[in-house]
Amino acid sequence: MAFSPLVDELVESLRCLPGVGQKTAQRMAFHLLEKGRSGGERLAGALAGAMSGVRRCERCQNFSDTPVCGICENPKRNNGTVCVVESPSDLLAIEQAGGYDGGYFVLMGHLSPIDGIGPADIGIECLLDRVATDAVEELILATNPTIEGEATAHYIADRLDGRNVLVTRLAHGIPVGGELGYVDGFTLTHAFRGRKPLAE
């Protein structure tokens, strides 16, 4: 490239962001240099801070600045219920929906033997320990409704078989506000099977 080494290095580094190729990285670099120097400096600081300061919560494996995260430390939350999710963004979606006041356990992935990801890699042993020591009453398996997510949920349920804990899975059905004509067959079948009396 005909540019300065600093610009070259910036473009090359921006490509570590997901979905950013050569052209987008160039556009981002030029934008920051032309119009967003203060934003770029702020981003540099935020990146350095987050990369060195963010760790995993010891209880729920979620990202946290402190050894135990804010949700786990919150005394108002019901520790008898634990919701198991695959990623921090799933946790965020549930938090933003509101209405859930229990704890979480973030697997940071799902079981995937083909990629060599086994139970130990996603912290299932930690989860089982927590269920035993914290006297968890209900474990809500909120892994994604994909093949790997379902397999992970079934594996966790199997490991808890015989223990005194209620294991539940999020309901499948028609999205609220959705139109029947646009719902896929599998979802419709699940919605039929899971139908409920109107009075409930």
Residues of this chain that interact with its own copies (CB under 8 A) are: 1-7, 9-10, 12-14, 16-19, 24, 26-34, 36-37, 39-54, 63-66, 69-71, 87-89, 91-92, 95, 108
Question: From the CB of 141, what's the least distance to its own copies, in Å?
Answer: 20
Residue with smaller CB distance to its own copies, 101 or 129: 101
Backbone φ and ψ for 78, nearest 5 degrees, come out as -80, 110
Picking from 111, 186, 187, 107, the residue whose alpha carbon sits closest to that of residue 148 is 111
Residue with smaller CB distance to its own copies, 65 or 125: 65
Question: From the CB of 33, what's the least distance to its own copies, in Å?
Answer: 6
Instruction: Tokens for 13, please give them.
Output: 């580094």
In 62-199, alpha helices (H): 70-73, 88-97, 124-133, 147-159, 185-193
CA distance 107 to 56: 11
Contact partners, residue 76, CB within 8 Å, separation at least 6: 101
Residue with smaller CB distance to its own copies, 123 or 167: 123
Question: From the CB of 180, what's the least distance to its own copies, in Å?
Answer: 27
Question: From the CB of 18, what's the least distance to its own copies, in Å?
Answer: 5
Distances (CA, A) of 154 to 140, 167, 170: 12, 10, 13
Question: From the CB of 44, what's the least distance to its own copies, in Å?
Answer: 4
Residue with smaller CB distance to its own copies, 104 or 155: 104
Residue with smaller CB distance to its own copies, 27 or 163: 27
CA distance 163 to 14: 48
